[in-house]
Amino acid sequence: LDYQHVQVPFEITLWIMLASLAKIGFHLYNKLPSVVPESCLLIFVGLIMGGIIYGLNDRSPPVMDSDIFFLYLLPPIVLDAGYFMPSRPFFENIGTILLYAVVGTIWNVFGIGFSLYGICQVKAFRLQDVSLLHNLLFGSLIAAVDPVAVLAVFEEIHVNEKLHILVFGESLLNDAVTVVLYTLFRSFCEMPTIKSMDVFAGVGKFFVVGLGGVLVGLSFGFTAAFTTRFTKDIRVIEPLFVFLYSYLSYLTAEMFHLSGIVAIISCAMGMKRYVEANISLKSHTTVKYFMKMWSSVSDTLIFIFLGVSTIGENHEWNWPYICFTVIFCLIWRALGVLVLTFFVNRFHVNTITSKDQFIIAYGGLRGAICFSLVFLLPDFHRKKLFIAATTVVILFTVFIQGMTIRPLVDLLAVKRKRESAPTVGEQIHIRFLDHLLAGIEDISGHWGQYYWKDK
């Protein structure tokens, strides 16, 4: 028996197998997935697995390695999200999405950070040693809505397209803000004094990280589109290029500390139209199916690992801090959505209804990104408290919010996604109106969205 020799691939294969079998298992009982979201079930499986490992070995099970998460598990999901992003609603709402993603996330980071600092001043809680900077750092990692968790829940509740793209787009694009604020506060924590210069550099860095990500992504995307022009004779490796270039864009962005998520999304959205025209139909089916398969497996593994990593002894249970974290996460998100939507609605004809606002605020699920970031924190004496708080916030949002959002959507009668594809007549009308509005905008000299879409 030579287990050492095959250990690495064998264990990876077994984990993936476990994940796939768990998925099959849930679907055998048709009633279960309609009540409990799959993500909750998977975390539950992970908790059981973690408990078994903990019981057998008598020590904490291995936590999800942040490197594995960011380098191998996250990219397939984001690639899938970017490649199948419905581009029309996305670009129609890009302003609102960016507002939520950038201003909303900054609002949450500072709101949560400062109010938790306030809590730390209460002597009875014995938290006076947690500095403002540490609270802000914690805020920067806990504030971001998680695309994986959002996708897992929103794919099952079928809300209308606009609502879906608002929450999901925000969860993707806030990565740039998270990357900047997280690295900024982390380096501030290690600096002896902070000059005002550093703060301005941070603001400038945000544009570098975000726009740099877009630039890296687009350049790889167009290279991919160009490469697929030459694959007529060897159809068999066409799908490969889609995956290789997207992954390279992600890795390159990560290498330069840009936003990898923004890069891979730009890459996927940039190349999609050209690649689809160049590659054969069968290659396209392969790309589509493999992307879906890969992201589904990654997603499953992430939730299982989340569960496994929760078990163990690296938590410090200071309940006041943890409870207030959950409460502040909810309050600041609700406030942020209300204030931002107030401004958005003043400039739009299609306003966001108060029901939609509630779902946007309530759909702010946290997930594996926070979890990986908190483990990446430099060692300091309160790290275990932050880990515990993050774990509780994730479990609270995924379990409580994730399980109640579907009944709430039913209760509030939120507008659902239409099931059928638009008829030819509808398509013609939509196209006709687009051209008409572009013409009107052109005549009136107003450069609106239709003008740009027509370009």
Contact residues for 442 (Cβ-Cβ < 8 A; gap 6+): 451, 454
Measured in Å, how far apart are the chain's first and last C-alpha atoms? 66
Q: Which is nearer to a second copy, 289 or 447 (CB)?
A: 289
Q: Is 454 in the site for a second copy (CB under 8 A)?
A: no
378 lies in the binding site for a second copy (CB under 8 A): no
Tell me phi and psi for residue 416, to 5 degrees.
-90, 170
386 is written with which tokens? 């932050």
Q: Which of 237, 339, 430, 436 binds a second copy (CB under 8 A)?
A: 237
15 or 380, CB closer to a second copy? 15
3-state secondary structure of 159: strand
Name the residue nearer to a second copy (CB basis): 293 or 430. 293
Task: List Cβ<8 Å contacts ≥24 apart for 55-58.
Answer: none
Question: Any contact of residue 289 with a second copy (CB under 8 A)?
Answer: yes
C-alpha of 159 from chain center: 18
The least distance separating a second copy from the CB of residue 179, rounded to whole angstroms, comes to 12
* Residue 227 binding a second copy, by CB under 8 A: yes
Ranges within 24-53 binding a second copy (CB under 8 A): 24, 27-28, 30
298 lies in the binding site for a second copy (CB under 8 A): no
Does position 296 interact with a second copy (CB under 8 A)? The reply is yes
149: closest CA among 66, 38, 249?
Answer: 38
Minimum CB distance to a second copy, residue 285 (Å): 5
Q: Is 154 in the site for a second copy (CB under 8 A)?
A: no
Site for a second copy in 302-331 (CB under 8 A): none
User: What CA–CA distance (Å, rounded) separates 30 from 32?
Assistant: 6
C-beta closer to a second copy: residue 297 or 352: 297
User: Total residues contacting a second copy (rule CB under 8 A)?
Assistant: 51
Q: How far is the CB of 300 from a second copy (least distance, A)?
A: 9
**Token pair of 184 as six digits:** 């900024």
Which residues, listed in sequence order, are joined to residue 58 by a DSSP beta bridge? Answer: none
Q: At what angle do helices 74-83 and 161-190 cross, to 10 degrees?
A: 140
Q: How far is the CB of 208 from a second copy (least distance, A)?
A: 14
Strands (DSSP E) contained in 54-186 are none
Comparing CA positions, the residue from 245, 226, 228 lying closest to residue 237 is: 228
Residue 236 sits in the site that holds a second copy (CB under 8 A): yes
Residue in 402, 310, 306, 370 with CA at minimum distance from that of residue 19: 306
Pick between residue 145 and residue 275 the one whose CB is nearest to a second copy.
275
By the rule CB under 8 A, 383 interacts with a second copy: no
Query: What tokens appear for 445 in the block?
Result: 């000299």
Q: Which of 234, 349, 413, 443 binds a second copy (CB under 8 A)?
A: 234
Among 283, 298, 372, 391, binds a second copy (CB under 8 A): 283
> Among residues 24 and 413, whose Cβ is nearest to a second copy?
24
| Chosen residue from 44, 54, 72, 84 binding a second copy by CB under 8 A | 72
Residue 96 binds a second copy, judged by CB under 8 A = no
| Close Cβ partners of 57 (under 8 Å, ≥ 6 residues apart) | none
Question: Phi/psi at 366 (nearest 5 deg)?
Answer: -105, 155
**In this chain, which of 251, 326, 331, 335 binds a second copy, going by CB under 8 A?**
251
By the rule CB under 8 A, 190 interacts with a second copy = no
Task: Report the residue number, 250 or 371, with the smaller CB distance to a second copy.
Answer: 250
Q: With H, G, I as helix, E, B as strand and everything else as coil, classify residue 405.
A: helix
CB of 290 to a second copy, least distance (A): 6
The residue among 63 and 224 lying less far from a second copy, judged by its C-beta, is: 224
DSSP alpha helix (H) spans, 311-448: 319-346, 354-362, 368-375, 383-395, 402-412, 424-444
Nearest Cα to Cα of residue 405 among 365, 364, 366, 363: 363
CB 341 within 8 A of CB 84: no
271 vs 395, beta carbon nearer a second copy: 271
In DSSP terms, which residues pair with 159 in a beta bridge?
Answer: 416
CA atoms within 13 A on the CB side of 92: 14
The three-state secondary structure class of 416 is strand
Q: Please, what is the minimum distance in Å from the beta carbon of residue 274 to a second copy?
A: 16
Note whether 16 binds a second copy by CB under 8 A: yes
Smallest gap from Cβ 10 to a second copy, in A, equals 5
Q: Under the criterion CB under 8 A, does residue 88 sit at the interface with a second copy?
A: no
Instruction: List Cα–Cα distances, 247 to 9, 40, 209, 446, in angstroms.
Output: 21, 29, 18, 39
- 3-state SS class at 164: helix
Query: Contact between 6 and a second copy (CB under 8 A)?
Result: yes
When binding is defined by CB under 8 A, the residue of 158, 162, 257, 415 that contacts a second copy is 257
| Chain contacts with a second copy (rule: CB under 8 A) | 1-3, 5-6, 8-10, 13-14, 16-17, 20-21, 23-24, 27-28, 30, 67, 71-72, 227, 230-231, 233-234, 236-237, 239-241, 244, 247-248, 251-252, 254-257, 282-283, 285-286, 289-290, 292-293, 296-297
